Structures are given as structure tokens and as C-alpha cells.
Amino acid sequence: MTAKTPAATAPRSSRTATPTTLNASVVRKLRQPFAPEHIRWKVQANPKENQGDTYAVVVVFVDARTVAAHLDDVVPGQWSTEYALPPVTVGFPALECRLTVCGVTRSDVGTVEPSPRADSDTKDLYSDALKRAAVQYGIGAFLYRFPQVRAKVEKYGNTWFITREAQAELQRLTEAVLSGAPQLPRFQALKVVGYTPGGLSGVTGGEEGPPPIGEERARGLHEQLGIALRQTDISTLDHSVFASRVLGFEVGSLAGLTEGEAATVYRAAKQRQAEAGSDQAAD
């Protein structure tokens, strides 16, 4: 399949809003799970028909329109996409999506397995690229916490379809996972492996997100960063600015960071310290 390098596109949303920054509050909203009705399932691998198997591997997904609508809801008028051919491709056709949200640009590459319908391939390629780029902001990251599922299927012609019974149970499974149910219902048409109760909280940060480290912990972090960055070329850089660069969103105060974010910032400072030490040794 041959793809042309498209020009940058305007933000999909036509709404106007006060410009904002990609701060912790916005990131938490972007990472929130979608409503169950927007989550879908599809057959990923056909059953072993010659062995009498009637269960197929199914995977959970959302479509690109849902991702675009979510961006419109959270950051209306403040996101845009640009597509380009990646510098290196191996195997299937690939397309890079550069997604800009609140002035921050992140990218990823989508791929598609060629099919007889070239027009469908093109649409799928753009959709996959957008969804993969969106994950860089945590959009749809909750999908990675769903368990492995094999569903009962039936064959029509050369195509396998999820049975009605399995579809109904997949809906129940989706609702249970999104609610963080302590255990899953009993299923007749599904085989489920690897469910972690409350697993979504590790991806989404919960409704309000994990608690901030607070002023006392922030003072300790400030001292640690000062020591780590003392011999680097950014020793005079404000630590909140350094944290903003590391995390990819505006940090107004170190006290507002979560423990995980604080640990990430400190690791980055230690990395800069190690690099500065290596440069001095080389001189």
C-alpha cells in the first residue's frame, strides 16, 4: 500500500475554550476510563477448528472516533494531529501520528495488515496511529488492565463471530472490570485469565488521582534535586520547571506531585548527575 505524507490537520474540535496547559488535572481526566458502551471486543485469533475448539481469543478496544470525542470533551479546541511516514518501517505499512495536546506533542506509529480492501486499510492505518499516539497521554491506557479472554464463537462462511451469549457476558465483564469488582461473575461462554481486582486504579489514578506528596515531602525533594543537579548545566533551573520538563506537563509546585511523579523527577535528576560526572571524567 502506498501512503502519501499528509499535511498537518487543524484541531478536530470546533469548540472554543480558554487555553490551558497539560497539567496534572488534565492528565488525570485524559486517563479516565470510557463508558462501557464505548468499549468493544473483536476476535483476535480464530479457534483451532481442526481440534474441535469453539473458543477464540478476543481483545478489547475502542475506535478512533471515541478517542477524538474524548479529546474534544477534555481539551476542546486544544488538540491537533499531524501524520507522516515514519523514517523506518519493517513489515506491514506504517503511519506516524504526531498528536499535540495543550501545546505538548507526542507521537507513535500505527500499522495495519494489508487486506483486499485498500480503502479500509487506509482508514485503519490512520485510526491505529491516532489511538497509539493517544496512549502516550494515557488515553485508553486502562484497556491494558483487562484480563486475557477467550470467547465462544460461531462460524458463518469463512468468518468467525462472537456468539450472542458471549457478547452479553463480555458486556458484564467490561462493567465488572471498570467498576473494579473484587471478583468477576461466573461465565459460561467466556474463559478469563489474569484479572486483577481494582487494577484500573494503577492506570487511571482513580477518580481524583493519588494524593500529593505535600509540603514537607516537597522540601526534602527540593534538597535532593539541588544536590543531584548541583554540578550540571541546569543547576540554577527552578525545580518546578525541571519537573515540568521531565513529566511533560506544567508543575506549579513540587508539593502537588504524587509519589510516583516525584520518584520519576528524582530519577531524571540522578541521570543528569551521572551524565555530568561522565563528561567531567572525560575532560
Q: Which amino acid is at 271?
A: Q
Question: Above 70 in pLDDT, residue 5?
Answer: no
| Res. 202 pLDDT band, cuts 50 70 90 | low
pLDDT in tens, 206-254: 444 456 777 888 899 999 999 999 989 998 999 988 988 888 777 778 8
User: In the chain, what are the domain boundaries?
Assistant: 24-204, 214-282
DSSP 229: H
pLDDT (0 to 100) of residue 1: 44
Average pLDDT of the residues in 73-80: 94
What is residue 168's three-state secondary structure? Answer: helix
Average pLDDT of the residues in 191-219: 70
pLDDT (0 to 100) of residue 139: 93
Q: Burial, 62: exposed, middle or buried (Cβ in 10 Å; 0-12, 13-18, 19+)?
A: buried
Q: Which residues contact 55 (CB under 8 A, 6 or more apart)?
A: 47, 150, 151, 152, 153, 191
Phi, psi of 179 (to 5 degrees): -85, -5
Question: Which pTM does this prediction carry?
Answer: 0.65
Q: How far apart are CA 169 and CA 8, in angstroms?
A: 42
pLDDT in tens, 22-67: 888 888 899 999 999 999 999 988 888 767 778 999 999 999 999 9
Regarding beta strands 190-193 and 148-156, do their DSSP bridges make them parallel or antiparallel, or are they unpaired?
antiparallel
> Between these two residues, 134 and 4, which has the higher pLDDT value?
134
Q: How far apart are CA 138 and CA 108, in angstroms?
A: 13
pLDDT (0 to 100) of residue 276: 81
Average per-residue pLDDT for the chain: 83
Name the residue with cell 525545580. 239
